[in-house]
Amino acid sequence: MLEKALQGEPRYWGWLVLLLVGIGAGFGAYSVQYQQGLSITGMSRDVSWGFYIANFTFLVGVAASAVMLVLPYYLHHYKTFGRITILGEFLAIAAVTMCILFIIADLGKPQRVNNVLLHPTPNSVLFWDMIVLNVYLILNLVIGWTILGAERKELPPPKWVKPLIYLSIPWAVSIHTVTAFLYAGLPGRGFWLTAILAPRFLASAFAAGPAVLILLAMLVRKLTKFDAGKEAIQTLAKIVTYGIILHIFFFFLEVFTVAYSQIPSHLTHLKYLYFGYHGHGGLVPFMWTALFCGFTAITLLVVPQWRKNEGLLGIAAVLTFICTWIDKGMGMISGGFVPNPLHEVTEYAPTGLEMLVTLGVYCVGALVLTVLYKVAITVKEYEELGGAAPAPH
């Protein structure tokens, strides 16, 4: 089926070339990093994880969100999602691919990455994260590809995928839970040391992922003959509504616990993020922007007339994306490291090269997504429309 990705209009090829340019730039920046070490990043002794891990964390959420399509469709036989489940699964593949690339980009010694397998260490959450992410990638690849292949042949999918699909549902939850455990189990990092971190991650994931899917579905409808359908998009919108509300709600649970208890090692991080701490407040405007976007999105989404207006829905989806991306992509990691356990403040901002590497990884993800969507949509288009070229008139 991959050959479908090799046929396309100039617009399609142009987009691929653009992505390849981005990938090239990212690769170039990474070569510099490979030569110079992570010194080219904005990371430091005190903020030892930065943009790469932040984006990794965000994308794990996007990947996990595929379950929001898989679960209603396969567990509750919600037929409306039948047409777009594959879009969710393929988005997950692209997202996990980016996750893995971000981890590799973040390693000081990528050439030793085999060591994680050669010296398996069950007491390390990172070891489990490696396992859940790779298995999730394989699960989605196998399930998505097999079901699409069966659809293309108009045959029922083979029986063995059923158990894999059921497995993929808790597995999606597991990837984000285990990723939250990377942070939530560390002594001395008060910002992360909270049981609600995993639920928070999941809530923001179920807001961000479906929001991305809504935007992708709208884009696909615009660019191709494949229409996800109004109902499917509206159901996604409802999921986003609940997701973003829960995201904000969980955030306030955290705020209450920290602010009411007034324990400094927990409180100072929030202070730093939202008001600045010891004169450092680089993230303050972003964090308020995120909150503003979150509230605006909620407003747009809870009012049914507004939600049903696809223009406003699109805006709400974008706002949701911005809100959750700032939350995880900027606040979550830096917020945990600043201030450090010694209550010293070292601020973090990504460097240009770091952002270029990040761009490259996003371009790889977009390339994977484009190729997979191209395949899926070509198959769907044929299935629904017969695939004949349009009349020349």
Partner 1 sequence: MMAFNRRDFLKIAGLSAAVGLGGQTAWELLLPGHLDAAEMPAASGLTAKRWGMALDVKKFTPAVRQACIGVCNQSHNVPKIDSKQGLKWIWEAGYEAAFPDLEAEYVEDEIKEMPFLVMCNHCDNPPCVRVCPTKATFKRGDGIVMMDMHRCIGCRFCMAACPYGSRSFNFHDPRKFLPDPAPNKDYPTRTKGVVEKCTFCTERLAVGKLPYCVEASQGAMLFGDMSDAGSAPRKALRTRYSIRRNAALGTNPQVYYLI
Partner 2 sequence: MSFIFSIIAVTALVGVALAGVALDLRYFMAVVLPYAALATFVLGVAYRVLKWSSAPVPFRIPTTCGQAKGLDWVKTNKIDNPCSTGAVLARMFLEIFLFRSLFRNTRMEYREGGKVRYGSSKWLWLFGLLFHWSFLIVVLRHMRFFFEPVPGLIQAIEHADTFFEMGLPLPGPNGLEVSLPLLAQSGVILLAAATFLFLRRVVVPQVRYISLASDWFPLLLIILIAKTGIIMRYVLKVDVVAVKKLTMSLATFHPALPAEPISFMFYVHIVLVCTLLIYFPFSKLMHLGGVWLSPTRNLVNNSREVRHVNPWNPEVHFHTYSEYEDDFREQMIEAGIPVEKEA
Partner 3 sequence: MATQTPKPQEILTTLGHQPPSENWMDTKPEFRPGMYCHPVKIASLEGMGGKYAREWAPAEPDWKLPADWKGIVKEGLKDRLNRFRSFQVFMDICVRCGACADKCHFFIGTGDPKNMPVLRAELIRSVYRGEFKTAGKILGKLAGGRKLTEEVIKEWFYYFFQCTECRRCSVFCPYGIDTAEITIIAREIINLLGLQIDWIGTPVNACYHIGNHLGLKPHTFKENIEYLLSDVEENVGITIEPTFNRKGAEILFVTPSGDVFADPGIFTCMGYLILFEHLGLDYTWSTYASEGGNFGFFTNNETMKRLNYKMYAESKRLGVKWILGGECGHMWRVVHQYMDTMNGPADHLEVPKNPLTGTVFANARSTKMVHVTEFTADCIKHNKLKLDPSRNDHYTVTWHDSCNTSRGMGFLEEPRFVLNSVCNNFVEMPDTTIREQTFCCGSGSGLNAGENMEQRMRGGLPRANAVRYVHEKHGVNLLGNICAIDRASLKPLMDYWVPEVAVAGLSELVANALIMEGENARSTNLRGEEINDLREEAGLPPIDFPDPDEEGGGEEGDE
Interface residues with partner 3 (CB under 8 A) are: 152, 154, 382, 386-393
The residue among 74 and 191 lying less far from partner 1, judged by its C-beta, is 191
Least gap, CB of 147 to partner 3 (angstroms): 17
Q: Is residue 126 a contact point for partner 1 (CB under 8 A)? A: yes
User: DSSP labels for 247-309?
Assistant: HHHHHHHHHHHHHHH--HHHHHHHHHHHT-BTTB-TTHHHHHHHHHHHHHHHHHHHSHHHHHS
Q: Is residue 27 a contact point for partner 2 (CB under 8 A)? A: no
The residue among 126 and 259 lying less far from partner 2, judged by its C-beta, is 126
In three-state secondary structure terms, 167 is helix
Of the candidates 62, 93, 182, 375, which one interacts with partner 1 according to CB under 8 A?
Answer: 182
Quick one: tokens of 120?
């398996």
Q: Is residue 3 a contact point for partner 2 (CB under 8 A)? A: yes
**How does DSSP classify residue 384?**
H
Nearest to 373 by CA among 215, 205, 256: 215
Site for partner 1 in 35-94 (CB under 8 A): 36-39, 41, 43-46, 48-49
**Amino acid making up residue 333:** I
The residue among 113 and 315 lying less far from partner 1, judged by its C-beta, is 113
Among partner 1, partner 3, partner 2, none, what does residue 178 contact (CB within 5–8 Å per kind)? none
The residue among 111 and 305 lying less far from partner 2, judged by its C-beta, is 111
Binding letters toward partner 2, positions 45-64, x by CB under 8 A: --------------------
Binding letters toward partner 2, positions 113-132, x by CB under 8 A: xxx--xx-------------
Among partner 3, partner 1, partner 2, none, what does residue 302 contact (CB within 5–8 Å per kind)? none
Helices 310-326 and 51-64: angle between axes, nearest 10 degrees: 140
Q: How far apart, in whole angstroms, are the C-alpha atoms of residue 196 and residue 201?
A: 8
**Amino acid making up residue 346:** T
**Residue 294: CA count within 13 A, CB half-sphere:** 26
CA distances from 329 to 42, 68, 261, 268, 325 (A): 15, 22, 27, 19, 5
Of the candidates 79, 162, 230, 343, which one interacts with partner 1 according to CB under 8 A?
Answer: 343
Least gap, CB of 295 to partner 1 (angstroms): 31
Of the candidates 3, 11, 77, 123, which one interacts with partner 1 according to CB under 8 A?
Answer: 123
Among partner 2, partner 1, partner 3, none, what does residue 124 contact (CB within 5–8 Å per kind)? partner 1
User: DSSP labels for 56-117?
Assistant: HHHHHHHHHTTHHHHIIIIIS--GGGGGTHHHHHHHHHHHHHHHHHHHHHH-S-GGGTTHHH
Q: Is residue 305 a contact point for partner 2 (CB under 8 A)? A: no
Tell me the backbone φ, ψ of residue 277, rounded to 5 degrees: -140, 130
**How does DSSP classify residue 338?**
S
Using CB under 8 A as the criterion, which residues of the chain lie in contact with partner 1 when the complex forms?
36-39, 41, 43-46, 48-49, 103, 106-110, 112-113, 115-116, 118-119, 121, 123-127, 130, 182-183, 185-189, 264-265, 336-337, 340-344, 346
Binding site for partner 2 (CB under 8 A): 1-3, 111-115, 118-119, 149, 152-155
